[in-house]
Structure 1
Amino acid sequence: MFFSGPGARPRTWEASPSEHKKWVEVFKACDEDNKGYLSREDFKVAIVMLFGYKPSKIEADSMMSSVNPNTSGILLEEFLSIVRKKKEVQLHRNEIRHIFTAFDRHYRGYLTLEDFKKAFRLVAPKLSERTVLDVFSNSGDGSSDHSPYFPCSLLDLLREVDQDSDGLVSFKDFEYAMNHGQNEA
């Protein structure tokens, strides 16, 4: 529904030549003493340079544990792979944020049933209001007015968006649901 292509999978993203060159330059700048790899501290500095935040201990541990035991750090190709994956995640999250913001027309930081109704009317005008209500609430009876616009799995997914049944969907809930849908597809 929100992402291009069948199965709602995010697009595969490739770095531009200039971006790839920048990543290599950052690797070289952080590779103190030209060892040919990034130590744990070198890696943290490189992430700060590229993404603007210092990786947590857990993130750094995770990256260092994936390192070839025959080396003392992250080699260039491993680094480029890590950075590409981090960039894909960042772009995916930005796309989810963009979708949420499009739904949140009043900039409140949460979505209501009315927000969903308006969005569904724009995207799928033939979708019945009963289906939208069933999608939004957790109290559906299991039967639904399935639409050719939305597969059953999406209806089931959106039924779970409002986790606490308070009638509001925060960005965190929305992001969880969108990522849950990615894992299911």
Structure 2
Amino acid sequence: MFFSQAGARPQMWEVSPSEHKKWVEVFKACDEDNKGYLSREDFKVAVVMLFGYKPSKIEADSVMSSVDPNTSGILLEGFLNIVRQKKEVQLYWNEIRHIFTAFDRHYRGYLTLEDFTKAFRQVAPKLPERIILEVFREVDQDSDGHVSFKDFEYAMNYGQKDPRKRLCLAPGSVNSASS
């Protein structure tokens, strides 16, 4: 597939000292009774504080399944790894959204072949028309002549085997990404 060959990958993101400090402070604030770990409920509160949403049962189950059986919850190091991964995913999603918006010059919420052609003409003027058409057809999952953000997002993530390079933290990805 074109996008996977083009190397659409999230970049490794360096955590600033102030960001790291904030994450540690959130961990400590959510660690009720200073146990040294976050319980399931503590983790949910920490995610709300850092990301502004309550994690789903699936996400919480995934994270808790990655916990060492010898501990009763998520230790600071594990929490920092999870937060780093979530932040990288968030930044990558924003990057994909930005690219889609740049292609969607008429603000319709979908891309046409004309949008693709104009965008490719700007970044790769010598690319043959047949390649642009082939890419468009491949990305247009339902063959309706429109590429939705969902189609575009899927194409940008196609073939990603490393969970840290997927757009979403799917169940079990915290487990495999932190091992």
The TM-score range, normalised by the shorter chain, is 0.7 to 0.9
* SS in structure 2 of the partner of residue 33 of structure 1: helix
The verdict on how the C-alpha distance between 1:19 and 1:28 changes in structure 2, with shifts beyond 3 A counting, is same
The reply on whether 1:168 has 2:146 as its aligned counterpart is: yes
Deviates more, 1:124-133 or 1:172-181: 124-133
The reply on whether 1:49 has 2:49 as its aligned counterpart is: yes
Structure 2: runs of 5 or more not aligned: 166-179
The verdict on how the C-alpha distance between 1:136 and 1:2 changes in structure 2, with shifts beyond 3 A counting, is closer
Q: How do 1:32-47 and structure 2 match up within 5 A?
A: 32-47=32-47
Q: TM (normalized to structure 1)? A: 0.82
Structure 2 counterpart of 1:44, which letter?
Answer: K
Separation in structure 2 between the aligned mates of residue 46 and residue 134 of structure 1, nearest angstrom: 45
Structure 1: runs of 5 or more not aligned: 138-158
* SS in structure 2 of the partner of residue 108 of structure 1: coil
Structure 2 counterpart of 1:54, which letter?
Answer: K
Deviation of the 1:132 alpha carbon: 1.5
For the pair shown, the structure with the greater C-alpha radius of gyration is 1
* SS in structure 1 of the partner of residue 47 of structure 2: helix
State the Cα RMSD in Å: 2.0
Structure 2 counterpart of 1:87, which letter?
Answer: K
Deviation of the 1:96 alpha carbon: 0.4
Q: Which residue of 1 aligns with 2:169?
A: none
Separation in structure 2 between the aligned mates of residue 104 and residue 183 of structure 1, nearest angstrom: 28
Separation in structure 1 between the aligned mates of residue 29 and residue 17 of structure 2, nearest angstrom: 18
Separation in structure 2 between the aligned mates of residue 68 and residue 183 of structure 1, nearest angstrom: 24
Separation in structure 1 between the aligned mates of residue 70 and residue 16 of structure 2, nearest angstrom: 31
